Amino acid sequence: MSSASSSAARRLILASTSPYRRELLQRLRLPFEVMSPDTDETPHVDEDPRSVARRLALAKAQAVAMQQPDAVVIGSDQVADLHGRPLGKPVTHERAVAQLRMMRGQTVVFHTAVAVVCRNSGFEAVDVAQVSVTFRDSDTGMSDADIEAYLQAEKPYDCAGSAKSEALGIALLARLQSDDPTALVGLPLIKTVSLLRAAGVPVLAGATA
């Protein structure tokens, strides 16, 4: 059996409970399952944001692949980078306010990493998409009142940097630059497709109607 044929028969698993990543992966129309990777997402001391995203995406995929060695597993992670300072999920309203105040008028780089692992085939690869986002300043749409209105409306406490760009958060942005348009939402689909193909998954042939 060829590598591609073997991979076509393998289960595809998304190692994430994020509803955003699940919705994005559904766009490929590939049947997949979802499993929680249960990994420690604490950054290492002096670890730069890009390295954090890359390491955690791979760790998530590896954690699920250990339990499901015959499956092709996708892991992903996103870290917001404010001049080298990593910004994770705020979790609370107070932390979201603090994050957005720091980000206004600034350009923040969002590192979104994706990893694909299949233990039985020996495939393991990871890639990172970068999105450069310039936020409005307090005079052009990101005053304290604007931040509060946005947070009350969206409650984006599970989004890195409190930025939910696919919804009302777009009103906080002045400019966005990326070569992988879904990366900011949480899963860079261009890079994901490339890694799945490299793993032997026939993306278009496996798509359902």
The reported pLDDT for the residue numbered 163 is 85
- Please list, residue by residue across 159-181, b when 16 or more beta carbons sit within 10 angstroms of its beta carbon and e when fewer do: bbbbbbbeeebeebbeeeebebe
The reported pLDDT for the residue numbered 196 is 97
* Position 4 pLDDT exceeds 50: no
What residues make up the domain containing 86? 3-198
Looking at per-residue pLDDT, the higher value among 38 and 174 belongs to: 174
Indicate which residues carry an active-site annotation.
Answer: 77
Q: Could you read off the pLDDT of 21-33 as tens digits, one per residue?
A: 999 999 999 999 9
Rounded to an integer, the average pLDDT of 141-158 is 95
Rounded to an integer, the average pLDDT of 132-139 is 96
Residue 206 within a domain = no
Position 7 confidence tier, pLDDT thresholds 50, 70, 90? low
Residue 10 within a domain = yes
The reported pLDDT for the residue numbered 145 is 97
Q: What is the C-alpha to C-alpha distance for residues 93 and 177, in angstroms, rounded to an integer?
A: 27
Residue 177 within a domain = yes
Residue 115 within a domain = yes
* Position 42 pLDDT exceeds 80: no
Q: Which of 56-70, 131-145, 152-166 has the lowest mean pLDDT?
A: 152-166
Q: What percent of the chain has pLDDT over 90?
A: 80
* Position 6 pLDDT exceeds 60: no
Rounded to an integer, the average pLDDT of 112-125 is 97
The reported pLDDT for the residue numbered 51 is 93
The answer for 161, left when phi > 0, alpha when psi is -120 to 50, beta otherwise, is left
Residue 76 within a domain = yes
Position 164 confidence tier, pLDDT thresholds 50, 70, 90? confident
Rounded to an integer, the average pLDDT of 74-90 is 92
The reported pLDDT for the residue numbered 155 is 94
Residue 194 within a domain = yes
Mean pLDDT across the chain = 92
The reported pLDDT for the residue numbered 1 is 32
The CATH number for 69's domain is 3.90.950.10
The reported pLDDT for the residue numbered 199 is 97
The reported pLDDT for the residue numbered 2 is 35
Number of domains, the chain = 1
Angle made by CA atoms 204, 205, 209, in degrees to the nearest 5:
80
Q: Could you read off the pLDDT of 98-113 as tens digits, one per residue?
A: 999 999 999 999 999 9
Residue 99 within a domain = yes
Residue 203 within a domain = no
